[in-house]
Every structure is written in C-alpha cells, then in structure tokens.
Structure 1
Amino acid sequence: MTDTTIDLDVAEVERRLLARWPETRIAPSLERIRAVTDALGRPQRSYRSIHITGTNGKTSTARMVEAILLELGSTVGRFTSPHLTDIRERISIGGGLIPPDAFVRAYLDVLPAADAVDRGSATPLSFFEMTVAMAYQAFSTAGIDVAAVEVGMGGMWDATNVIDAEVAAILPIGLDHVDHLGPTRLDIAAEKAGIIKPGAFAVTARQTPEVEQLLRAHADAHLARLMVEGRDFGLRGRRASGGGQVISVDGLAGHYPEIPLSLHGRHQAYNAVVAIASVEALLEDAIPLDVLRRALGSARSPGRLEVLPGTPAVVLDAAHNPDGARALAAGLADLGHRPTVAVVAAMGDKDLAGMLAELEPVVTTMICTRNSSPRSLSAQDTGAAARAVLGSDRVVEIGHLGHALLEAVRTASALSEEGGAQVLVTGSVVTVGEARGLLGL
C-alpha cells in the first residue's frame, strides 16, 4: 500500500510535517515550492488574493481582511502562521478551521510532488513550504474566491510568494529576524517589497521616509500602484470602548465613520485601516458601511491583546519584539491603568532587552519563565535580563509556565483586593498558545 492511500489523521500529518526542516531554518529560494505548485497545476492561480507582510500585525490584518470579504459574500481562504494551539489554524476556509479530512487530503495531494522535489534537491521541503503548498491546494479544492495570505518571514523569498497577488499589503516595518532579513529597516524593507507584483496594487502603512522611498521605487519599477497611509487613506479618529474601540476611517474609495472594532489597542485600529484599504483595492470600489460595521464589529484575533474575562482578568499578547511590546504597552492603557503581573517567556534569538524596556512602565511584577520550545530562554536568563531593567524587587523566576501562571493569578488576586489587577502573558506566540491550553481555551 502506497503512502498516499494509507489512512492518516491530523496528528499523524502534523508529526510528519514537524519531522521536516523547522520554520526557523531558511533556505532562500522559491525553486522548491514553485516546483511543487507547478506539479499541482498552480492551484494558487485559481483565486484572487491579498498578500500581507510587515513586522507585526499580519495575522490580525489577515483576519480582518477575511472578515470583511466574508461579510461581502465571498468564499474566503486565509493562511496565517504560526498557530497557537492547533495546526489547522494556519488554513481557514469559509471563516473556520480547515476540516480534518480536508487537511489530510491537502497533505496527500501535495505529498507526491513534495517527494519528487525532495529526491531531486539537496534541500528538502521544509515544514513551512509544505503547509503553504497544502493551503494553496486546499483553497483551490474548496473553490474559494479570494485568499488572504500572511507572509511567514520577509517576502521576496518567502514560500507564500509564489502567489501572484493583486494586492500587496505592507504593515509597519521594524527590526525582527535580522539574522535572516538583514540588520537595518531598509534591508528588511527590500525583502518585504518583494511581494509587490507587476501591475499590482500595493497598500502600505505609514513607514519611515527612507522605507517609503524604497517601496515606491520598487512599485514604480514593477508598474505597480502604491497607496500610502496618511496620504491616500488613513485613520480619522478612534476611541476606546468596553468591547474594543470605535474608529473612523478615510479609505481609498470611501469614508467610514463610527465603525465598531472588537479588537483592543491603537495598533489594531491602524491594522484595520490597512485591511480596509486592501479590500477596497481588490474591489476597486468602496465597501458598504453596514458590511464594514458587521465585519469589524465581530472580528477576532486570538492571542493579540486578547482579554479573557474574570477576576483577575488575563490578557494574552504574542508580542515578541520591541515594536510589538511597545504596541502592547500602549494597548494596555486602553484597558485602564491597573496593576499588571506579567508572565514572560521569550525566544533566545529575540531582542529581549528591547522588549523589557517597552514593558517596564506598565508592569508591576514580572514572572520570568520558559515555554516548551528548545529556542526558549530559561527562566534564569530571562530573569537576569529583567532585573537589569526592572530591578530585583519586581522580578520572580519560575521555571514552568503552568506554575508561573498560577503564581501570577495568585499575585494579581492579592493586588485586586487593593483596587483591581490583571495578568499579562507575553513574549512569544508559543508562550501564548501554551497559556491558552493551560487556561482551558
């Protein structure tokens, strides 16, 4: 019996995918993924697409794009990474996780082509390349109208970039993955500009002047139209509300007042602005106001300034670089100033000192721990970095994430008796995903 006919389940497929090169191991080439998608008949060309890059906010923006398109009546596929708790989160069809049987089918559809590429290449297909191919194949099989696709890392050499998106959305570009993308914002911007295709529409968030100039030069060289936040579209106003915020937006094609957005934080308002402009660019028309209000009023982005009700409240945020931590700190102000007990577990290849400097003003006590990833810093290493920023009296080290959560809840509960407190879990997508599991989500 061949490998393509045996019975598999999601867990076995995930085990096989994880046996490949991990997401953090990069070989900058589109040769392998292109060979696979060519063998599959180029499924990514059977639907329209919006391709999303940037340093932070990609997943939330993709989810908002998806929500708007679904409300417009389109059949939508969404590819995002990494996942929090279930590998199927990476591939959404029709607004929900890809069904288990469709996930397995996508793997089996891709496997023969992947095996052929592996046999002919010194570099085997990675975990990420396989999941991209599976997503594109699953979207084609489902007959979707539009895909919202999040870049994994960078843009030019990212496996998702075999898609010829009509719209390239570029969120703010900061410093992250510098070992792969380069040491400066301009280096990173050059990689991310690679998703702008000839003749396409490019929508960018506000960037530094140098980065905007680079993006414009790339767009001009490819006869693409570049639209810039702050000049061609933008956020007119916002106010925090109990369920998130209310925003008013000047879009590319229309003005949208008083839109409820069920996500917290000023950064999510700006992500929503890019999502709106991206959909307008795809439609080449305005979005009906009632559609936009329904879509963004019910949008969800788990693990991104996600507030779990209870006493004490628990806030989950996957910030893993200084820009993300800065947005998180500002977002906490929307929730009201209160004592905050932070549980932090970060990866060893991140700018932990930069993250801690951004969080210091909003954290009362920091509990330093680790997650299950072999890339995770130890509680002791994180604690040493935290003491250098916060001082010894505000830092606790606990080596197990579950025990750290329990201690954070206990500490915040004691502080709540004095007027309210909250628990914050941050530092990594892995940390937040594991915390969600421990909290029963």
Structure 2
Amino acid sequence: MIEQLVTETIHWIYESYGRVPASARQGFDRDVRHPEWTRWMLNELGSPDREMYNVAVTGSKGKGSHAILMAGILQAAGLRVGLFTSPHLVDFLERLRIDGQAIDGESFVRLAKTVRSVMDRAPLPSGQYIGPVGILAVMASLWFQASQTDVNIFELGRGAKWDDVNQVQHSGAVITPIFAEHLDKLGPTWADVVDEKLAVVTTDVGWAVSHEQAEIVRERWTRNDASERVSWRQLGRDFTFRVKQQSGATVVEVTDGKRKHRALISAAVSPLAGNAAVALIAASKVLDDLRGVGQELDIDLRNLVLPGRMQVIRRRPLCLVDGTIHAVNAKIVARWLEGRAEPGRVTVILSLPDDKDAQGVMETIAPFCSRMVLTESTNSHLHYSRNLTDLAKRFVADVRADKNVERVIADVCLRADPDDTYLFLGTQSYVGDVLRVFEVETKSIWQCSDID
C-alpha cells in the first residue's frame, strides 16, 4: 500500500512541470524557470528553512560527492545532519536523508500532502510551473525542521541563480569546479555559466569554500557584489592537503592556517581526496559557527560510501561503478587503477549517450583496459545514435556492443574471472541500472558490512 502511495506522490511532484508544453520549457533558465515559487511555498509554510543552519553546494563536477562527504564529516563530528541530493540512482527516496539514511515512505507521503495543501492555492500564471526539485526541497526543509537536525546540506542542480533549491536560505556555500557546461541553459558564454553558479552566494551567505577553479571563475568572483563581505577560501590558495597511507588506511591531511584536519577514507574514495579536503574545510566552518570554537577535525570515514561514485560493488571479481561521463572523471578512475598492484584483466563496460564525452573517456581509460563493452541505459530519454564501436577500436582491440544493459551485466558476471577488474562507467541513469541489477543497497551512505 505505501509503495503505491509513494509512486502516486512521485507522479504528483511532476504534475506542474508536465502541464507546461515542452516548447515552453526550452531556452535559457533565466527565461523559462521561476524558482520564486519555491520561496513562495516556503514562506506559506512558515519559512522552516530560516530556522535552520543550511549549506548549499553548486558547481559543475562532484556536487554530490562533496555534499555526501561533508554530511558524513559533520555526522561523525556529532551533529544531526540533513542531506538533500539529486538525482537518485535506484530509489527516489534517496534524495532526502537524515544521518545518511533515506526517508521512509510514510514520512515522504505525509510531507507531500502538507506541501500540496499549499501548492494547490498558488496563483500560478499560465505557462509557468513549480519545479519538481523545488517541491522536494520544500519537503526536505519541513522534514529536517521536524526532525530537529543541526545542519542541512542541499545539493543544487545545474545552476544557482535560477535554481529552485537556491531559494532555500543557506548560511554557507560549497563550490565545486566550474566548467563551461550547459551553455544552452546557463550561457551562452562560460562567463555566464560562472555568474549563474556564483549566485549561490546569496545575501544570507557568510562564507564560501571552493575547490580549485579556472582563472575565469576567480576573475568573475572579483566582480561579484558579495566578494568583499563573504569569506572565500579556495583549495590550493588558502588551504592545502596531502594524502598518505597509514596502517592500511588512506589519510587526507588538510592544513588551514594554524589548524590541521584529517580524515580517514576508503581506497575507493581516495581518488576524491581533494573533494574530501574541501568538505573538511566547509565542515570546520559549520562547526565554528555552531560551536564557536576553532576545532581541529579528526574523522574516520572509511565506512562512508558515495553511491555510484567510485563505488566498489563486488570484491571478487572486483567491480567498480562510477558516473564517468568525460575525461576529467576518467582521470580519477585512471588514478585509482594506477594505485592497484595487480588489477588483472580490466574490462570497461561503458554507457555514454550522445551528449557525453565518449572519446575523452575512452582515450583516458584505454591504457589500462583489455576490453571495452558498449551498452545503453534503460532511460528512454537518453539518446544513443552514435556508432561508438569504431571509435572504441581506435583505442582497444577487443570491443563489442550490446544495447541490453541487463544482458551485458549478466554476461559479464557469468564469464567473470575472480582475479580481474570490471569497471561500469557512464551516465547516472546507467549507474542506477548497474546498482539495481547488482541489488546494491542505496538507502544508506554508510556501509555496515563487507561486500562479497
């Protein structure tokens, strides 16, 4: 019964969006999106977000991993932490978590009813819609408030200025590397994209922690109205990190002025050590604000899992899944392979739709790869019109293609050599397919037991 109600609720969340013709949703976000309706709903519900300490995460790469790492650090430091991420991989309820655990179906349905009672009376003009992610952000705010969380982390979508989630009041901002992406939605220029994302620094924000950025990001920040009043700390300029091995664990040590922080992370997360460093500094800012002391962090995150991000889902044979869609992501996977003593024969199973950097991924991974298998996702909205087989053969001799992802995975499992390595790399929808077929638990970001 509750499963049916959850499904009906998910359909309702997309109703407003679906009522507007697709043609009216095309164009730059500034012309077609109306995030002010998210703020309107929050206000109508008593502005629950303004009673809490929130942090927003934006950027082009690694938003989810930064958000999850920061949530894990703050939870390990003793806080009750709300986490809002998007999209989900297997279960829609993954998008809302407290202390790493996904929301239960009953609470999800109840929150939706509360929001719907307000949304139904919104004076929405014809041709406008209330964004699904905005509805979810309002639901998350109500849940976090009722659950008395100490701090909440909200992952934004592709932008910030016209992003519904940015309407949630937040005291701090985390900014991941910003690339020249989504030019058709945030552009038309890279500078426009940067300005859109830097709008995460609202008038309520007192601090921002940033990953390393291109020169254009630093230049656009100096033109930002908030640049003189907001504390901006950037990796490589204001704080540094180093990685070392200690008693079989990977240690990330961060130096921030006179303070030093450290976190123990798993081998699979170690290629994202820079993300962990940024998350440590951001977490220290939160703790400074909430506890009023300059605390040095020493955190054990070895049981933290980043769902679908450098995630080991089987030990023998070694199977890893990652949302690798361009060369930058692929370099992280390559570094992980370099760190393995004997990965055996490496098979890469790729699912890269037309809008992803297939050549960049293949070229980066090929030196480590014995075989490539090309497949597709079950997401019917993705387009796979390119002939990637010929492209793959430029880099690897052994290439085959099969559109049926479930058949490909079954075939890999049947023929797997326990000493080999299998990499499932591609778009997030494909990552979700892999986790579903392998029956990987995604409702918690904490791994409680060993993987087979």
The TM-score bracket by the shorter chain reads: 0.7 to 0.9
Following superposition, the deviation at residue 108 of structure 1 comes to 0.9
Matched residue SS, 1:367: strand
- What CA distance in whole angstroms lies between the structure 2 residues aligned with 1:116 and 1:355? 48
- What CA distance in whole angstroms lies between the structure 1 residues aligned with 2:254 and 2:227? 30
Structure that is richer in helix per residue: 1
State the partner residue of 2:422: 423
> Is the contact between residue 309 and residue 323 of structure 2 (CA under 8 Å) also seen in structure 1?
yes
Structure 1 unaligned regions, length at least 5: 1-5
Question: Percent identity, aligned pairs only?
Answer: 25
Q: 1:9 aligns with which of 1, 5, 12?
A: 5
Write the deviation string for residues 40-68 of structure 1: whole angstroms up to 9, x where unpaired.
22221121011111222211211121112
1:304 has 2:309 as partner:
yes
- What CA distance in whole angstroms lies between the structure 2 residues aligned with 1:235 and 1:301? 20
Following superposition, the deviation at residue 220 of structure 1 comes to 4.3
Count of aligned pairs = 424
1:54 has 2:53 as partner:
no
1:114 has 2:110 as partner:
no
- What CA distance in whole angstroms lies between the structure 2 residues aligned with 1:239 and 1:219? 42
> Is the contact between residue 201 and residue 226 of structure 2 (CA under 8 Å) also seen in structure 1?
no
State the partner residue of 2:179: 174
State the partner residue of 1:233: 239
Write the deviation string for residues 60-104 of structure 1: whole angstroms up to 9, x where unpaired.
211121112222322211001111111111000233111211111
Matched residue SS, 1:9: helix
State the partner residue of 2:105: 100
State the partner residue of 1:264: 268
- What CA distance in whole angstroms lies between the structure 2 residues aligned with 1:329 and 1:85? 26
> Is the contact between residue 346 and residue 376 of structure 1 (CA under 8 Å) also seen in structure 2?
no
Matched residue SS, 2:57: strand
Which residue identity does 1:62 align to in structure 2? A
- What CA distance in whole angstroms lies between the structure 1 residues aligned with 2:168 and 2:257? 24
State the partner residue of 2:88: 83
Q: 1:73 aligns with which of 78, 86, 90?
A: 78
- Cα root mean square deviation, aligned: 2.8
> Is the contact between residue 330 and residue 364 of structure 2 (CA under 8 Å) also seen in structure 1?
yes
> Is the contact between residue 161 and residue 196 of structure 2 (CA under 8 Å) also seen in structure 1?
yes
- What CA distance in whole angstroms lies between the structure 1 residues aligned with 2:363 and 2:188? 20
State the partner residue of 1:3: none
> Is the contact between residue 322 and residue 425 of structure 2 (CA under 8 Å) also seen in structure 1?
yes
How has the CA–CA distance of structure 1 residues 382 and 131 changed in structure 2, closer, same or farther, with 3 Å as cutoff?
farther
> Is the contact between residue 55 and residue 170 of structure 2 (CA under 8 Å) also seen in structure 1?
yes
Which residue identity does 1:261 align to in structure 2? I
Q: 1:400 aligns with which of 378, 398, 404?
A: 404
State the partner residue of 2:210: 204
Alignment of 1:142-157 (within 5 A): 142-157=147-162
- What CA distance in whole angstroms lies between the structure 2 residues aligned with 1:14 and 1:132? 14
Alignment of 1:430-441 (within 5 A): 430-441=429-440
> Is the contact between residue 73 and residue 299 of structure 2 (CA under 8 Å) also seen in structure 1?
no
The TM-score normalised by the length of structure 1 is 0.87
1:348 has 2:344 as partner:
no
Which residue identity does 1:147 align to in structure 2? N
> Is the contact between residue 252 and residue 281 of structure 1 (CA under 8 Å) also seen in structure 2?
no
How has the CA–CA distance of structure 1 residues 358 and 402 changed in structure 2, closer, same or farther, with 3 Å as cutoff?
same
Q: Which moved more, 1:159-168 or 1:372-381?
A: 372-381
Q: 1:278 aligns with which of 277, 282, 288?
A: 282
Which residue identity does 2:438 align to in structure 1? L
> Is the contact between residue 343 and residue 408 of structure 1 (CA under 8 Å) also seen in structure 2?
no
Matched residue SS, 2:17: coil
Following superposition, the deviation at residue 350 of structure 1 comes to 2.5
Matched residue SS, 2:120: helix
How has the CA–CA distance of structure 1 residues 385 and 200 changed in structure 2, closer, same or farther, with 3 Å as cutoff?
farther
- What CA distance in whole angstroms lies between the structure 2 residues aligned with 1:170 and 1:145? 21
- What CA distance in whole angstroms lies between the structure 1 residues aligned with 2:362 and 2:356? 11
- What CA distance in whole angstroms lies between the structure 1 residues aligned with 2:106 and 2:370? 47
How has the CA–CA distance of structure 1 residues 323 and 410 changed in structure 2, closer, same or farther, with 3 Å as cutoff?
same
Matched residue SS, 2:162: coil
> Is the contact between residue 76 and residue 299 of structure 2 (CA under 8 Å) also seen in structure 1?
no
Which residue identity does 1:66 align to in structure 2? A
How has the CA–CA distance of structure 1 residues 336 and 132 changed in structure 2, closer, same or farther, with 3 Å as cutoff?
farther
The TM-score normalised by the length of structure 2 is 0.85
How has the CA–CA distance of structure 1 residues 237 and 30 changed in structure 2, closer, same or farther, with 3 Å as cutoff?
same
